[in-house]
């Protein structure tokens, strides 16, 4: 009897270890769930709202339910939606769905995604919401033009890589994950007038050069200076020895990158650290600033130093260092101001609890906030340009 139980235990264990199919893994790497799930809703059943310059749109139900979801999609229908942005009935999808990035995914990965959605995702009969785009703009045909302009259907060139060229293998896998399924550019690349990203791969000078997203600044990933191990820690657990993730990036970590294998994280960090070093982010200068370094220092000691330390160095793996931190030194201070206004929390990942930073919007005036912001931007060798009180006040209003 005992033997049988042990044997059963082994079976269950093996079953669990093999539980993640390639399709599920690719769905994680592509973070489909982030957009196709409403807050508190069933995964992939849709309903999450996206505010775009032309109005609100809602992600759809992509569970295999035959009426509410995509249960009637053939593989060809699915492929057209995910890689070309065309729904089963022929209408063009809004580019909030990052199909220009998914266009780079291989046939094999799209096939495994399809199998996963059809066989493993539980169906849900939640109906799709109508989009709130004014009627004049809601005609979807101009999107076909958009499609034609920006979707590059060619997959990344698979140059003949020598099997012993470790770096070339890392670079090519990293490029695939970041530019394809990971769609990192959807937040980190600036967008042009028609909402297209200004570049979809490393051949563009502005690819991953930093952009605003929902009141946060997704910093440039073109000039990261942290060691590869720290970058991997950030993507795996949302924090590293000197840094931490916050805002919209937290969701990326909790729902996507924490599940990537160690070798895929190696590939992503190798790619990010090597794809380009030509374009350091330009630093803006500005005149009219009211900043009192003494007040800044006093406020910092009162409100921040218990956790971040007088030296700004924080505590390894718990409180991020504010010295040489990209959120603090970014040319656009939005993320820094948002963190102080709203507080922050390190993402909770497998085996890691989260650490909280309090919100200060009710506690500090705009003057005080400006002084603290400029203090941390100007101290410990940070040397970031100073911020005007108006910028801080605008962000505070937006947060209220
Ligand atoms: C950044 C947000 C985002 C991500 C990530 C995303 N989607 Fe979407 N997706 C959307 C939105 C928004 C729509 C609706 C667009 C519209 O109505 O024009 C959509 C539409 C679709 C459709 C068309 C559905 C229909 O009802 O016809 C399919 C299929 C789809 N997505 C599949 C996926 C898959 C598979 C993934 C992961 C590989 C994914 N999406 C990732 C935002 C996203
Ligand atoms: C939904 C929007 C979004 C997506 C998608 C996204 N990011 Fe981010 N990312 C952000 C924001 C906002 C920040 C700034 C907040 C922070 O640093 O915690 C950020 C910060 C980062 C940082 C920290 C930079 C630093 O110097 O400290 C790294 C590294 C990063 N992202 C990598 C990635 C990678 C790799 C991907 C694709 C797998 C990705 N991001 C996809 C929004 C996003
Ligand atoms: C109770 C401890 C605590 C206090 C007090 C505190 N912080 Fe934090 N802070 C944290 C923790 C923990 C994080 C990591 C959360 C995250 O970003 O995921 C953090 C994150 C940050 C970040 C984002 C860093 C990054 O890499 O994403 C900035 C900037 C920051 N704090 C500045 C400040 C300033 C300025 C003050 C004072 C007004 C302050 N903090 C007060 C604990 C604290």
122-132: pLDDT as tens digits: 999 999 988 77
Per the structure, how many domains does the chain have?
3
Shared-domain flag, residues 229 and 313: no
- pLDDT value of residue 237: 94
Q: Does some domain include residue 156? A: no
Shared-domain flag, residues 366 and 244: no
Q: Does some domain include residue 125? A: yes
Shared-domain flag, residues 131 and 95: yes
- pLDDT value of residue 93: 85
Quick check: CB of 118 below 6 Å from ligand 1? no
CB under 8 Å, gap of 24 or more: what pairs does 16-23 form? Answer: 20/259, 21/112, 21/115, 21/116, 21/120, 22/109, 22/112, 22/116, 23/112, 23/113, 23/114, 23/115, 23/116, 23/117, 23/120
CATH number at residue 313: 1.10.760.10
Label residue 12 by pLDDT band (50, 70, 90): very low
Q: Does some domain include residue 157? A: no
Shared-domain flag, residues 192 and 120: no
Q: Which helix (H) or strand (E) is 337 found in, with range?
A: helix 334-342
Shared-domain flag, residues 132 and 183: no
- Whole-structure pTM value: 0.73
For residue 324, give its domain range: 293-399
**DSSP letter, residue 41:** S
Task: Flag the least confident range among 96-110, 115-129, 276-290.
Answer: 276-290
Ligand 2 center to 67 CA (angstroms): 36
Q: Does some domain include residue 7? A: no
**Mean pLDDT confidence for 18-33:** 91
Most confident stretch, 81-95, 108-122, 350-364:
108-122
Shared-domain flag, residues 106 and 186: no
Show which of 274, 308, 325 is a domain's final residue.
Answer: 274
Shared-domain flag, residues 24 and 103: yes
- State yes or no: pLDDT of 259 exceeds 50: yes
Q: Does some domain include residue 91? A: yes
Quick check: CB of 346 below 6 Å from ligand 3? yes
Provide the mean pLDDT of the chain: 83
Q: Does some domain include residue 161? A: no
Shared-domain flag, residues 124 and 179: no
Most confident stretch, 66-75, 127-136, 214-223:
66-75
Show which of 225, 242, 274 is a domain's final residue.
Answer: 274
Shared-domain flag, residues 143 and 254: no
**Mean pLDDT confidence for 172-188:** 95
Show which of 209, 243, 274 is a domain's final residue.
Answer: 274
In this predicted model, which residue has the larger pLDDT, 194 or 25?
25
**Mean pLDDT confidence for 55-77:** 94
**Mean pLDDT confidence for 233-255:** 93
Label residue 283 by pLDDT band (50, 70, 90): very low
Shared-domain flag, residues 325 and 260: no
Q: Which atom of ligand 1 is nearest to the CA of 140?
A: 18
Most confident stretch, 105-119, 127-141, 239-253, 308-322:
105-119
Ligand 1 center to 219 CA (angstroms): 25
Shared-domain flag, residues 252 and 311: no
Shared-domain flag, residues 138 and 26: yes
Label residue 94 by pLDDT band (50, 70, 90): confident
- pLDDT value of residue 346: 85
**Six token digits for residue 81:** 């939606």
Q: Does some domain include residue 155? A: no
CA pseudo-torsion sign 20, 26, 29, 33: negative
Which ligand has the shortest distance to the CA of 67? 1
CATH number at residue 203: 1.10.760
330-349: pLDDT as tens digits: 988 999 999 999 898 888 88
């Amino acid at each position: 009897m005992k033997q049988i139980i042990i044997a059963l235990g082994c079976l269950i264990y093996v079953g669990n270890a093999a539980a993640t199919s390639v399709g599920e893994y690719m769905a994680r790497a592509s973070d489909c769930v982030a957009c196709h799930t409403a807050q508190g809703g069933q995964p992939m059943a849709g309903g999450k709202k996206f505010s775009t310059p032309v109005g609100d749109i809602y992600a759809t139900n992509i569970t295999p339910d035959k009426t509410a979801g995509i249960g009637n999609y053939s593989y060809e229908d699915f492929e057209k939606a995910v890689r070309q942005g065309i729904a089963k009935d022929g209408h063009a999808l809004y580019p909030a769905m990052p199909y220009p990035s998914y266009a780079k995914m291989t046939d094999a990965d799209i096939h495994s995604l399809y199998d996963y959605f059809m066989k493993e995702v539980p169906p849900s009969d939640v109906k799709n919401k109508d989009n709130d785009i004014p009627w004049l703009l809601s005609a979807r045909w101009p999107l076909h033009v958009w499609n034609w302009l920006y979707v590059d259907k060619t997959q990344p060139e698979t140059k003949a890589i020598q099997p012993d060229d470790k770096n070339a293998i890392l670079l090519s896998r990293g490029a695939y994950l970041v530019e394809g399924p990971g769609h990192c550019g959807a937040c980190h690349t600036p967008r042009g007038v028609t909402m297209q990203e200004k570049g979809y791969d490393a051949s563009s000078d502005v690819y991953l050069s930093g952009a605003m997203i929902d009141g946060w600044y997704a910093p440039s990933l073109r000039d990261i200076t942290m060691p590869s191990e720290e970058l991997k820690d950030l993507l795996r657990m949302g924090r590293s020895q000197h840094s931490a993730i916050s805002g919209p990036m937290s969701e990326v970590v909790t729902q996507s990158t924490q599940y990537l294998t160690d070798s895929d994280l190696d590939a992503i960090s190798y790619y990010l650290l090597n794809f380009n070093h030509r374009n350091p982010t330009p630093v803006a200068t500005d005149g009219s600033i009211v900043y009192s370094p003494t007040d800044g220092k006093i406020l910092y000691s009162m409100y921040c130093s218990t956790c971040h330390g007088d030296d700004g160095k924080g505590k390894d793996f718990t409180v991020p260092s504010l010295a040489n931190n990209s959120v603090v030194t970014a040319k656009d201070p939005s993320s820094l101001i948002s963190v102080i206004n709203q507080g922050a929390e390190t993402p909770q990942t497998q085996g890691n609890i989260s650490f909280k930073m309090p919100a200060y919007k009710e506690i500090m005036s705009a003057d005080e906030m400006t002084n603290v912001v400029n203090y941390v931007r100007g101290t410990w060798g940070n040397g970031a340009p100073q911020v005007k009180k108006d910028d801080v006040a605008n962000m505070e209003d937006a947060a209220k």
